[in-house]
Amino acid sequence: MEVITQNTIDVFGLSDIRQKIMDNVRMSAYWGVEPKHKPHIEMLIPLLKIRDLSLFNIGIKILFADTHALLNKVDEDDDKTDEKCIIYEQLFTHLIRILNINVEKISFEKGSEIQMDRRYMIDMYRILNHVTINKALEASSSVIDVKTSKPCLNQAMYPILQILDETMLDVDIQIGNIHQKKIFALGSCIQKLGYKKCSYILTPVLPKFSRFNFTDYLNYIYFSDTNDEIREKINNMRYTEKNNNIEKTPALAICKYIVYPVEKKVIYDTYDELEHAWKNGRITKDDLKTCLFYALCEIIEPIREFLLNLDMFGSVYSDIEI
């Protein structure tokens, strides 16, 4: 089970996963992603977890949550959502091959193609009888930014629709990041409708790169970034030397959750050696910056080349769009 739990924040229902593996029960899992941002390196974190699950012959469904994006006020006026879904599918297929995941175990789904289903709509109305408004708003608070004392209904509906997705996809496991923890807590409502219990794998998110700059551009390293842009973002990251909490040093988080799992390295052969050296002052901030830069360039270069050769990428994601 170490492979299942490695580089996760938590796993709800781990004992169920373990038992099904022991009993040779065929399982499936899904990861949902909104087709919004330019593709960036943080997307590798759930894909690496998908690689871990595939080792246990677990089928994977990747859901492009285009209708959820409307609830998140991301693509409300965006007429390029369909094109973004196509780019995401082409990119993820490429990344799956790079990560040596069996492509035959992966299928892609589009949210709008399952969330308009009659059964889905009926279950949505049924589940409304089991979730209070306050509980729904609390569940969405880490996913949808609530900055008003008068929240809209989208903030209550988002988590309800997400937990319904697992029923339509008929999966045993849902993969999501730590921000979705409160949404997963609503999963018990699904059982009240007679659906099977689902397990949840919580993956980490990268900490904000800068303490002061909260623009997306400086807080994401995109697969399409040039080497100069990658260097700029690494140099602008916050570095708290000799700190035991990697959340204070985004460069370490990138090393732990991305660089080493894709079998690259930064100075040392293992991440634990790197972190130990950092905590004990054996490497400097400049050492870490330089070595991370070269590791990321090596990872990103073939992905950038693939993306920039896609016919739609340049028109869908302009230079000023983030």
Q: Are 64 and 194 within one domain?
A: yes
Query: Is residue 208 assigned to a domain?
Result: no
Q: Are 134 and 26 within one domain?
A: yes
8 Å CB contact between 52 and 99:
no
Residue 210, token pair as written in the block = 């800068």
Closest CA to 30 of 58, 2, 1: 58
What is the pLDDT confidence band of residue 78, given thresholds at 50, 70 and 90?
low
Higher pLDDT, 60 or 76: 60
What is the 3-state composition of the chain as percent helix, strand, coil, each rounded to the nearest 5? 55, 10, 35
Select from 144, 168, 203 the last residue of a domain. 203
Q: Are 195 and 277 within one domain?
A: no
Query: Is residue 209 assigned to a domain?
Result: no
Whether 269 has a pLDDT exceeding 60, the answer reads yes
In the chain, how many domains are there?
2
Kindly report, residue by residue over 134-189, the tens digit of the pLDDT.
888 888 888 776 555 677 888 888 889 898 999 899 999 999 999 999 999 888 77
CATH number, residue 241: 1.10.240.10
Query: Is residue 198 assigned to a domain?
Result: yes
Closest CA to 176 of 255, 63, 94, 93: 63
What is the pLDDT confidence band of residue 239, given thresholds at 50, 70 and 90?
confident
Q: Cα–Cα distance between 50 and 44 in angstroms, integer?
A: 10
Residue 308 Cα distances to 35, 39, 258, 304, angstroms: 18, 12, 22, 6
Residue 284, token pair as written in the block = 């400097």
Q: Are 192 and 229 within one domain?
A: no
Our measurement of the distance from residue 281's CA atom to the centroid of its chain's CA atoms, rounded to an integer in Å, reads 32
Closest CA to 96 of 158, 50, 151, 155: 50
Q: Are 36 and 164 within one domain?
A: yes
Q: Are 242 and 140 within one domain?
A: no
Domain region containing 279: 216-316
List phi, psi (to 5°) of 61. Answer: -115, 125
Select from 203, 232, 255 the last residue of a domain. 203
Whether 320 has a pLDDT exceeding 50, the answer reads no
Q: Cα–Cα distance between 148 and 151 in angstroms, integer?
A: 6
Q: Are 137 and 160 within one domain?
A: yes
Largest interatomic CA distance in the chain? 61
Query: Is residue 321 assigned to a domain?
Result: no
Query: Is residue 94 assigned to a domain?
Result: yes
Closest CA to 303 of 86, 108, 96, 102: 96
Q: Are 129 and 229 within one domain?
A: no
Q: Cα–Cα distance between 184 and 160 in angstroms, integer?
A: 10
Strand ranges of the sheet holding 59-64, from the earlier edge strand across to the other edge? 10-12, 199-203, 173-177, 28-33, 59-64, 106-110
Q: Are 304 and 188 within one domain?
A: no
Kindly report, residue by residue over 271-306, the tens digit of the pLDDT.
999 999 998 889 999 999 999 999 999 999 999 999
Query: Is residue 211 assigned to a domain?
Result: no
pLDDT of 322: 45
Q: Are 180 and 308 within one domain?
A: no
293 three-state secondary structure? helix
pTM summary value: 0.93
Query: Is residue 232 assigned to a domain?
Result: yes
Q: Are 196 and 296 within one domain?
A: no
Closest CA to 256 of 303, 205, 201, 200: 205
Query: Is residue 14 assigned to a domain?
Result: yes
What is the pLDDT confidence band of residue 321, given thresholds at 50, 70 and 90?
very low
Select from 203, 225, 258 the last residue of a domain. 203
Q: Are 141 and 226 within one domain?
A: no
Closest CA to 293 of 311, 266, 275, 269: 266
CATH number, residue 196: 3.40.50.620
Residue 79, token pair as written in the block = 């007429």
175 three-state secondary structure? strand
Q: Concatenated DSSP letters for 210-253?
A: -SS---HHHH--BTT--HHHHHHHHHTS---TT-S-GGG-HHHH
